[in-house]
Amino acid sequence: MKIKDLKQYLDTRSREQLIAEIGDMFSKIDSVRDYYQSKLNFGYSAEVAEKYKSSIKHEFFPARGFGRAQLSVARKAVSDYRKVSDSKFGVADVMLYYVEIGVQFTNTYGDIDEAFYNSMESMYERVVKYIVQHRMQGQFEERCRKIVADTSEMGWGFHDGLSYIYAEHFKEESSSESET
């Protein structure tokens, strides 16, 4: 089905029928509920963000047993959150949380493989660029810096990569503050 077909179908429905259909989807489909909960909270709903952050944490630190650390599952939670929320703050928060939990996992269980570090570094770079692009450094710089500090003993050049990304994107703000 294409969007054109959907629009044609929706044109045949009355306002009441559309409201009923949306209500039905809202009650049956979690992502629709999350989407509208975010919309009704002006794009950001802490409850919705926490749901996706909980999915990420569960992948690394389940209530029982050891985390499986399936990066694809955790990354999907980030991707799914981006689909249901327009909040720039929320998107940055969830993306950064993914990296924070990955760093915590490594500190808890020891060195992981290169693919793991590449995934974390890639997400860190994406979120730092996103933060700078949307001028949210004041809200997230401390968390970004802490991630770098928490990786100082990690292998595979992970700490060096994160340090470089941090310095590249936060140096201008830090140097301009020190000049004043």
* pLDDT per position as a tens digit, 127-170: 999 999 999 999 999 999 999 999 998 877 899 999 999 999 99
Which range is least confidently modeled, 59-68, 75-84, 135-144? 59-68
| Tokens at 124, concatenated | 């860190």
| Mean pLDDT, rounded, for 5-14 | 91
| Mean pLDDT, rounded, for 47-59 | 94
- Whether residues 52 and 22 fall in one domain: no
- Whether residues 1 and 75 fall in one domain: no
For residue 172, the model assigns a pLDDT of 56
Burial profile 99-112: b = 16 or more Cβ within 10 angstroms, e = fewer: bbbbbebbeeeeeb
The string of pLDDT tens digits covering residues 24-52 is 998 999 989 888 888 787 767 888 999 99
- Whether residues 2 and 63 fall in one domain: no
- What angle in degrees, to the nearest 10, is found between the helix axes of 71-84 and 46-60? 170
Total count of domains within the chain: 2
pLDDT over 60 (residue 175): no
For residue 11, the model assigns a pLDDT of 92
Task: Give the Cα separation of 57 and 121 in Å (integer).
Answer: 18
In 12-136, which residue ranges form alpha helices assigned H by DSSP? 15-28, 30-40, 46-60, 71-84, 88-109, 114-133
The confidence band for 174, taking pLDDT boundaries of 50, 70 and 90, is: very low
Burial of 180 from C-beta contacts in 10 A (0-12 / 13-18 / 19+): exposed
The string of pLDDT tens digits covering residues 84-119 is 998 999 999 999 999 999 999 999 988 888 889 999
Residue type, 57: K
- Whether residues 32 and 47 fall in one domain: no
pLDDT over 80 (residue 177): no
- Whether residues 102 and 153 fall in one domain: yes
Q: Which residue has the tokens 């029928």?
A: 17
- Whether residues 145 and 103 fall in one domain: yes
Inter-residue contact 150 to 103 (CB < 8 Å): yes
- Whether residues 171 and 147 fall in one domain: yes
Inter-residue contact 101 to 74 (CB < 8 Å): yes
- Whether residues 92 and 104 fall in one domain: yes
For residue 82, the model assigns a pLDDT of 94
- Whether residues 3 and 59 fall in one domain: no
Task: Give the Cα separation of 64 and 58 in Å (integer).
Answer: 10
pLDDT over 80 (residue 179): no
Could you list the residue range(s) of the whole structural domain that residue 172 is in? 42-179
CA dihedral for 96, 99, 100, 101, sign (positive or negative): positive
Task: Give the Cα separation of 105 and 37 in Å (integer).
Answer: 31
Q: What is the pTM of this model?
A: 0.85
- Whether residues 76 and 165 fall in one domain: yes
- Whether residues 55 and 91 fall in one domain: yes
- Whether residues 100 and 151 fall in one domain: yes
